[in-house]
Chain A
Amino acid sequence: MMPPKHILGTFDEALSSVRNNVLMMAGLAERTLDRAVKGLLQRDDNLCTTAIADDEEIDQLEKQIDKEGVDVLLRFQPVASDLRRVVAAMKLSPNIERIADQATNIARRARKLNRHPPLPEVEIIVPIQAHAMAMFKDAIDAFVREDVDLGRAVVARDKDLDHMNKMANRKLTDRMAQDPKQLRGYLNLIFISRCLERVGDHATNIAEDAVYAAAAEDIRHQALVQASNG
């Protein structure tokens, strides 16, 4: 639930601008990731090239969000939920930028794969991409709607993605042994799977920051804390 309007309308405007830029950046990163994976599955080099080119705009947005965030902190010295929203927005943007970087890496690997005959094992990537993308979208949703439960749920889903990546690695490594001629191709697929696993890690970071923004609760590294306590 968003709070009532601030007495200073300029503050609401400045905070909205930061949040809108985060959303725009997230939308672009989602599109880039989608294009990169489609470029791989549809063997479309143009989509891969577009995905790589999109990264520049996302990088610029990251800088813009940092600038606006610092400006809000300097001009308004926000506190309480306002402070958490600004801090969270500034922490979200590097994670979104890293997701876009992973999309770029996937697009580059896809272009290499597209130069060779298709590998049926490329289908292994489909569920991993779907899971990573859903985590990313839900993490952004949790931030926008200040939905603590959704944020926590995203964090919990990262284990499944890690497992999927591990299984894909095992399967592709086996295939390498069986068909050493396609070694480069399988290595590229392993790399792409790892990129998607990283997307999940960044989505987890975003979800954790969304929970902090909404409820002032730091849920990072809880597994480590629980392990050391018990």
Chain B
Amino acid sequence: MVSLLEMPQTLPQQVPRQNDRPVEETESAEIMIDVRDLDFAYAGNKVLHNVSLDIPPKAVTAFIGPSGCGKTTLLRCINRMNDLIEGARITRGTIHLGGIDINAPQVDVVDLRRRVGMVFQKSNPFPKSIYENISYGLRIAGVNKRSRIDEAVEKSLRGAALWDEVKDRLDEGALGLSGGQQQRLCIARALAVEPDVVLMDEPCSALDPIATAKIEELIHELKRQYTIVIVTHNMQQAGRVSDHTGFFYLGKLIEFGPTTKIFTNPSERRTEDYITGRFG
């Protein structure tokens, strides 16, 4: 079995693989996640149609679109979370992460999910201490040395801009934290195993404006080190935090491009109508 922990750290264009695009294009573009001709179905009901996009490394990519358009489905395809749903499967196309086909039979899905962390709409800390929430993933990965775990806990909490708020109460229950702090704890938990990609599924939808601002500021900091893909219903949030935006409608990727372009002069009428609130 191929371990994704041993995947090349170099960019995918340096990994030889087959695709249908001209060589010059693949050689010039920086791509972390390469989604190509993807169809996805739930129990035979197709919900993604021929989606292709290149997600660049160390940048924030936002998926926007009305409910049911397929943006969360695509997000969950990137770390194979949909594998857990019976009857749900990719029916055509590929997703490459760092040049590796993540759906290849030899890929270890646990390694994949370590490399591609996920933060959900509602914070879901374990009913354990703050410390244990962070250390849990490391222990699962076989790290047992206390000093190394301590170091990772502090690094992750600092990375999630939570350290100063919790450093004196690491043994207290995580469920005692505020909603915004819990969400940042979940981000810290994802960071603890040093992923390359962090997927965020409406991470601020349950938070107040201050907690939302803290998460957005955090996202801005995190993109220096990580590739971030965020699903959001908040147009202003997509405009604030992302570098690239994809607009989905009825399972199709209608438009994908730099966020500034999408929000000032989209190429597609449907994108314009959706983001300006003239849809339907």
Contact = CB atoms under 8 A, between A and B. Distances in A.
Interface of A: 3-8, 11, 77-84, 215-216
Given A84-B264, A216-B264, A216-B265, A79 B275 contact: yes
Nearest to B261: A216
A4 B275 CA distance: 13
B266 interface: yes
Contacts of B275: 79-80
A23 B273 CA distance: 25
Residue picked from B236, B265, B271, B275, most chain A C-beta under 10 Å: B265
Contacts of A81: 265, 272, 276
B273 A8 contact: no
Contacts of A5: 278
A7 B239 contact: no
B278 A79 contact: no
Given A77-B236, A79-B235, A3 B265 contact: no
Interface residues of B, number: 16
Given A216-B264, A216-B265, A80 B276 contact: yes
B273 A4 contact: yes
Contacts of A7: 277-280
Given A5-B278, A79-B263, 6 more contacts: A3-B272, A4-B278, A6-B277, A8-B277, A80-B276, A82-B276
A192 B264 CA distance: 40
Contacts of B271: 80
Interface string B245-279: 00000000000000000011110000111011111
A23 to B, nearest CB: 22
Contact of A11 (B239, B263, B264, B277): B277
B235 to A, nearest CB: 6
Contact of B265 (A4, A8, A80): A80
Nearest to A76: B277
Nearest to A215: B265
B276 A78 contact: yes
B267 to A, nearest CB: 10
Contact of A80 (B236, B272, B279, B280): B272
A80 B276 CA distance: 7
B273 A79 contact: no
A6 B276 contact: yes
26 contacts: A3-B272, A3-B273, A3-B276, A3-B278, A6-B276, A6-B277, A6-B278, A7-B280, A8-B277, A11-B277, A77-B236, A78-B276, A79-B235, A79-B239, A79-B264, A79-B275, A80-B264, A80-B265, A80-B271, A81-B272, A81-B276, A82-B276, A83-B263, A83-B264, A84-B265, A216-B264
Residue picked from A3, A4, A8, A81, most chain B C-beta under 10 Å: A81
A9 to B, nearest CB: 11
A80 B266 contact: yes
Nearest to B275: A79
Nearest to B263: A79
Contacts of A78: 276
A7 B274 CA distance: 10
Residue picked from A8, A80, A216, most chain B C-beta under 10 Å: A80
A213 to B, nearest CB: 11
Interface in B201-238: 235-236
B36 to A, nearest CB: 28
Contacts of A83: 263-264
Contacts of B276: 3, 6, 78-82
A15 B235 CA distance: 19
A80 B263 contact: yes
A3 B270 CA distance: 12
Nearest to B266: A80
A215 B271 CA distance: 15
Contacts of A216: 264-265
A207 B119 CA distance: 48
Contacts of B272: 3, 80-81
Contacts of B273: 3-4
Contacts of B265: 80-81, 84, 215-216
